[in-house]
Amino acid sequence: MQKQVFICGCKSGAKISKDRVEKWKSTLDENKIGYTLIEDLCGVAVKNPDALLVFKEHEESILLGCQSRAMEHILAKAGIRACCTNIEKYHMDNECACIVSDWDCKEGKKNTIEYNDDWVSWYPVIDYLRCSSCGKCKEFCLFSVYKTDDFGNVIVDKPENCKDMCPACARTCPEQAIIFSKFKESPIDGGEGEMEVQSSQDVIAQIQKNEDVYKILADRRKSSKIPLLKNQEKLAEQERACCSTNTDEKVEKQKEEIKEDNSDCACNCC
pLDDT digits (tens, 9 = 90+) for 89-141: 999 999 999 999 999 998 888 999 999 999 999 999 999 999 999 999 999 99
- 86 with 193, same domain: the answer is no
* Nearest-angstrom CA–CA distance, 129 and 76: 12
- 179 with 64, same domain: the answer is no
The residue range of the domain holding 204 is 125-261
Position 231 in a domain: yes
- 154 with 245, same domain: the answer is yes
Please say which residue of 113, 148, 182 terminates a domain: 113
Instruction: Give SS3 for 14.
Output: coil
What is the radius of gyration, based on Cα positions, of the chain? 20
CA proximity to 29, closest of 116, 131, 110, 111: 110
pLDDT tens digit string along 186-236? 999 999 876 654 334 444 555 555 556 556 555 655 544 434 455 677 778
CA proximity to 5, closest of 75, 46, 58, 44: 58
Q: Between 193 and 67, where is the model more confident?
A: 67
Hey, which bits of 76-123 come out as E strands? 87-91, 111-113
Residue 226 confidence (pLDDT):
38
Position 269 in a domain: no
The total number of structural domains in the chain stands at: 2
Position 228 in a domain: yes
